[in-house]
Amino acid sequence: MEKIKSVPESEKNDRMIEKGLHFLGLILWFMSSFILSGAGLFSVRVPLCVGLAAACTGAELLAVCAGGITGCFLRLGIQDSLSCLIPLTATVGAVIALEKLRIRNKRTGILSACVFLFSFASSTVLMFSGTPSLNGFLLNLCSSFLCGCSVVFYSGTVSCINKRRSLSMLDSHSLICIMVSLCTFFLGCSEVSIFGFRPARLFGSLVIIAAAALFSQAGGSIAGISIGTCVAVSGTSVALSLCYGICGLAAGIFSKYGQIVCAAVFSGIAGVAALIDGSQEGISVFAEAAAASLIFAAVPKKLLTKIRNDISLPKQQRIASEFGNAKERILEASRAIGSVSKCVKSVSDGIEAMAPANDVIVCMRVRERVCAECSLKDGFCPESGDFSAVIEKLSRGEAVSPEDFSLDFNTKCPSVPRLADTFNRIYSGRNAINALQASAGRSREVACGQFDSMAELLKELSSEVESDAAVLHEKERTALRVLSDRDFSVCSVRCTQPLSGAMTLKCTVEEIPQGTSLTRLTAVLSSELGAELKPPEIKESADGKELIFLRKEIFSFRFGAASASCGNRKLCGDYFECFRTESKAYIIMSDGMGTGGRAAIDSAMTVELFSRLIRAGISLDTALAITNTALAVKSDDESLSTLDVAQIDLFSGEAIILKAGAAPSFYTCSGRVRTVEPPSTPLGILSKIGFSKYALRLHGGDMLVMVSDGILGSGSSWLRDEIKAARNPDAREFSELLLGTARRKCGDRYDDMTVLTVIIDEK
């Protein structure tokens, strides 16, 4: 016999609660449709329950349909009931048909058109069954149009309810849908009056005060104007309805002083409007506003603060550990590495300060080895004059012999040959030690430079970790809505935008629905986010698939280069590279010292190392310091090279020209040719080096020309004339033209030559 498993009591309770909530939701849908069935606009009934039915499916659709039918029989006359029941029945059929056919794309647009056609056709037929008129025809057209438009707003509201979106995930489109949906309910229940007081206006006043407190003057005025318009068209005096917008604006302005002040200002302005109006209805409006103010003032401050924080942009959360958050840890590491550099420098300076002069050390060592056991050392040795002459000869690189000592010294000292030989050996050994110490000092200097560069790099990372303004929460909400409306099961959405403007949208979804057009999806996201995006790059992730959308840049560039080596050798001492990141383009060129293979090695190493550091996200100044250090320790011989860098922002057109010992550059601006020639120092000379920087802004059609110093062997005036005369040339052909002209002007004797041309195009 099969055993029957018992269901835990807690699970039964959860199921009961879930069923109860579902039943309560159906009642709310029923009541909403009941209210909307009798919405009035001036003298016309607008069956907005038809639009609500078009936005629902399943059990909610049945509840809405039942509420609309009940409202028609209890609240409307025969003709108005037929104007509601006929399009309601047709709309329910259209919704069921779309569900059966599984048509989900453009569902809202199709149903909006259906609701408009059903409402207009039924009302027009009923009108012609009686006494037709042009005025009635136009009113039917307007009411049918409102019913069709309501489908859009109800669909957005229903989507937020069904997907249980929290306040923090509501974008502007969702908030507008919810606000408009609330306003339409005023049209449906505005006629209900209790002793002259209308609950709809009371609720409207409460919504306006809440919007003013949460969204300041903008939210209060928008909510006030919207609700005031609905109140006006439902029968209230237009003059009194206008005061809702003024009350919302004033309450929003004073919302910063607290909710009590906000509520008092709202009711006070409403009271002034009631006194000016002087009617019984004006007194009712003031009483409703005062009651709403009292209700709002009684709301706990903590609850209001929580709602405001949920609606406003959430803050970035940083991960903390036992050592503190990431920013503080990186800053502490930067300080620690910087202190190592200072310690090495101070110890090195102390050692050098304590070291005696070289000549004194040599004399001391000679006395220790030769004169230590001599009986004459206290009364005769050393003779400063003889030793000074010997040291002077050794400093010239010459060997010392016994004849270099004076005759008197040779007569008295029994160990002159040994003394001369010891001087030679100790002095040569001391020279070797000095060379090693100089090399060690240079190594310490290089190590300090590396520590300083690393400390600067960590400081940059700390500032990047600190900055969280690039997270676009509003666009994340919009992207989430767009993807959810297209049946994507969204795991996460991340939208970031650095200062460069290169917005990146990363969406992780479980699967891409069948039949989805990524081109169409990209176009919709571009329109909703207000930024033109590229088609997504799709990557596999642990949660599913990651769609990466990158913003299209505003500017593009054409690049051309031409170079020639000195004496037509195989290797050119100039080296260049052009590449781009997500938001910027980089053109880098280096001219090695001299010509031939050694210059080619220096320039290639400079460009390759510098470009790799830039691609890794290291700043230009830090990359320069690291490259300079690497060039300094490359070999024992001196290695020099220039560095010429152009950084172009493809979203703003802003460009930075950076030079370290490089030749001048030229660019066009409004038809004029300008020169960039800041003074600077090449790499490999000093332990610390910096760029000379020049900032400019490029526009479509502008040109930037970068050259090595070999091009300017015969001056730069001809180069400026060639650039000025160019009219949107091909970048590569123009570079070859300039190179050929430079070679002809310099004749047979010319240095390594390189020309780089960049032409900016604006999309």
Nearest CA-CA partner of 732 in 567, 603, 570, 558: 558
CATH of residue 661 = 3.60.40.10
Pick the residue with more confidence: 174 or 313? 174
Residues 6+ apart with CB under 8 A from 102: none
Is it the case that residue 556 has pLDDT exceeding 80? yes
Asked if residue 197 and residue 156 are part of one domain, the reply reads no
Alpha-helix residue ranges (DSSP H) falling in 312-415: 326-354, 358-366, 384-395, 407-412
Residue 342 inside a domain? The answer is no
Asked if residue 492 and residue 389 are part of one domain, the reply reads no
Asked if residue 266 and residue 221 are part of one domain, the reply reads yes
Asked if residue 509 and residue 652 are part of one domain, the reply reads no
Write out pLDDT tens, residues 707-757. Answer: 988 888 888 889 999 998 888 889 999 999 999 898 888 876 667 889 999
Residue 252 is encoded by which pair of tokens?
């929003």
Asked if residue 578 and residue 510 are part of one domain, the reply reads no
Asked if residue 236 and residue 94 are part of one domain, the reply reads no
Residue 12 is encoded by which pair of tokens?
């039964």
Write out pLDDT tens, residues 116-131. Answer: 898 888 888 887 777 7
Residue 595 is encoded by which pair of tokens?
């010509």
Kindly report which listed range (74-88, 260-274, 389-403) carries the lowest average pLDDT score: 389-403
Is it the case that residue 555 has pLDDT exceeding 80? yes
Buried residues in 154-170 as b, exposed as e (16+ CB within 10 A): bbbbbbbeeeebebebb
Residue 343 inside a domain? The answer is no
Asked if residue 164 and residue 63 are part of one domain, the reply reads yes
Nearest CA-CA partner of 46 in 14, 20, 83, 2: 83
- Average of per-residue pLDDT across 343-359: 52
527/538 Cα distance (integer angstroms): 21
Residue 462 inside a domain? The answer is no
SS3 state at 172:
helix
Write out pLDDT tens, residues 437-490. Answer: 555 555 556 555 565 666 665 665 556 555 544 677 778 888 888 888 888 888
Q: Which of 524, 550, 576 is the last residue of a domain?
A: 550
Q: Which of 519, 550, 581 is the last residue of a domain?
A: 550
At 214, is the pLDDT very low, low, confident or very high (cuts 50, 70, 90)?
confident
Rounded to a whole number of angstroms, the distance between the first and last alpha carbons of the chain is 77
Pick the residue with more confidence: 755 or 340? 755
Residue 377 is encoded by which pair of tokens?
């050392």
Write out pLDDT tens, residues 642-668. Answer: 889 999 988 888 899 999 888 899 998
Q: What is the pTM of this model?
A: 0.52
Q: Is the peptide bond before 300 cis (omega within 30 degrees of 0)?
A: no
Asked if 81 and 126 touch (Cβ cutoff 8 Å), the reply is: no
Asked if residue 561 and residue 544 are part of one domain, the reply reads no
Pick the residue with more confidence: 323 or 246? 246
Write out pLDDT tens, residues 304-327. Answer: 777 766 655 444 433 333 334 555
Highest mean pLDDT among 350-354, 361-365, 485-489, 510-514: 510-514
Instruction: Give 690: exposed, middle or buried? Use CB within 10 Å, 0-12, 13-18, 19+.
Output: middle
Write out pLDDT tens, residues 489-500. Answer: 888 888 887 655
Residue 47 inside a domain? The answer is yes
Q: Which of 312, 342, 363 is the last residue of a domain?
A: 312
Write out pLDDT tens, residues 36-49. Answer: 887 766 566 778 88
Write out pLDDT tens, residues 355-368. Answer: 444 666 667 777 76
Q: Which domain holds residue 219?
A: 190-312
Q: What percent of the chain has pLDDT over 70?
A: 73
Residue 333 inside a domain? The answer is no
- Average of per-residue pLDDT across 213-238: 69
Instruction: Give 106: exposed, middle or buried? Use CB within 10 Å, 0-12, 13-18, 19+.
Output: exposed
CA distances from 695 to 500, 656, 676 (A): 15, 4, 10
Is it the case that residue 303 has pLDDT exceeding 80? no
Is it the case that residue 342 has pLDDT exceeding 60? no
Q: What percent of the chain has pLDDT over 90?
A: 8
Average confidence score pLDDT of the chain? 76
563/309 Cα distance (integer angstroms): 60
61/63 Cα distance (integer angstroms): 5
Asked if residue 121 and residue 108 are part of one domain, the reply reads yes
Asked if residue 431 and residue 384 are part of one domain, the reply reads yes
The number of folded domains in the chain is: 5
Residues 6+ apart with CB under 8 A from 431: none
SS3 state at 593:
coil
Is it the case that residue 703 has pLDDT exceeding 90? yes
Q: What is the pLDDT of residue 321?
A: 38
Q: What is the pLDDT of residue 1?
A: 40
Asked if 172 and 480 touch (Cβ cutoff 8 Å), the reply is: no
Asked if residue 147 and residue 165 are part of one domain, the reply reads yes
Residue 656 is encoded by which pair of tokens?
């930075």
- Average of per-residue pLDDT across 335-350: 53
- Average of per-residue pLDDT across 529-551: 87
Kindly report which listed range (167-181, 207-221, 506-520) carries the lowest average pLDDT score: 167-181
Residue 182 inside a domain? The answer is no
Residue 185 inside a domain? The answer is no
Residue showing tokens 């110490």:
437
Residue showing tokens 């939208």:
495
565/83 Cα distance (integer angstroms): 88
Q: What is the pLDDT of residue 319?
A: 37
Residue showing tokens 């498993």:
5
Asked if residue 289 and residue 148 are part of one domain, the reply reads no
Pick the residue with more confidence: 397 or 509? 509
Residue 600 inside a domain? The answer is yes
At 275, is the pLDDT very low, low, confident or very high (cuts 50, 70, 90)?
confident
Is it the case that residue 233 has pLDDT exceeding 80? no
